[in-house]
Structure 1
Amino acid sequence: MKTRYIPEAPPRAEIDALQGAVLLEFGANWCGHCMAAQAPLEAAFAGHEGVTHYKVEDGPGRPLGRSFRVKLWPTLIFLRDGQEVARLVRPLKADDISTAFTQLDGH
């Protein structure tokens, strides 16, 4: 699991072409909601180390976040082979995140 949002985001076409399980996490390092979501995310991420995690710094004019219509932080988007299978906005419970991981796993 990544721990810091990075400003360099891959282009949408690259994300759409990814194979396997991917978690896109949009937010900002200074965002209180994002900080509050980290402990439950870490708890839910356990056992899912094979999921590719992109922790993308978002904001006005950031094309990847806009292409996914991200409006609030953090937004977690779970992708399987480039297709969205689950989305959580401002999650605070590990159980909610675990449920999304289950959808990602297809179980």
Structure 2
Amino acid sequence: MTMNIEYAKSAPERAEIDAASGPLVVEFGTDWCGFCRAAQPLIAQAFQGHGAVRHMKVEDGSGRPLGRSFRVKLWPTLVFMRGGKEVARLVRPGNVAEIRNALALIDTPLAQ
């Protein structure tokens, strides 16, 4: 799956995200956030080779219930999930390596 380039204006319900079965990255931010814009090339580069990871970009802000349910305080915040559970979280990632390391935690075969 390719990386999303735009933040969704409407967010899914938290229950939908918690029910996700595969690897998922939920990215919280806004189009006008300088930190979010600066992180996009890093995120895009890190996602190369992780085609099985679903990427969901959600526009966040005051009073947005999904971001509050994840206790998001700064943008961008990337929540790395596997099987509906949070495995890792990055706030304002500063390099490709830290994003790749977090992706590796969720984009590996599940142990039987």
Instruction: Select the residue among 47, 52, 75 that pairs with 1:45.
Output: 47
* Deviation per residue, 1:14-61 (Å, 9 max, x gap): 110010100000000000000000011001000111111110000001
Structure 1: 4+ residue segments shifted above 2 A = none
Q: Percent identity?
A: 58
Q: What is the total number of aligned residue pairs between the two structures?
A: 107
**TM-score under structure 1 length normalisation:** 0.97
* Deviation per residue, 1:52-91 (Å, 9 max, x gap): 1110000001000000000000000000010000000000
User: Which residue does the alignment assign to 2:38?
Assistant: 36
Q: What letter matches 1:9 in structure 2?
A: A
**TM-score under structure 2 length normalisation:** 0.92
The Cα of 1:106 is off from its aligned counterpart by: 4.2
Cα distance in 2 between the residues matched to 1:104 and 1:93? 18
In angstroms, what is the RMSD of aligned CA positions?
Answer: 1.0
User: Which residue does the alignment assign to 1:66?
Assistant: 68
The Cα of 1:105 is off from its aligned counterpart by: 2.3
Cα distance in 1 between the residues matched to 2:30 and 2:63? 14
The Cα of 1:92 is off from its aligned counterpart by: 1.8
Cα distance in 2 between the residues matched to 1:9 and 1:19? 18
Instruction: Select the residue among 19, 24, 28 that pairs with 2:21.
Output: 19
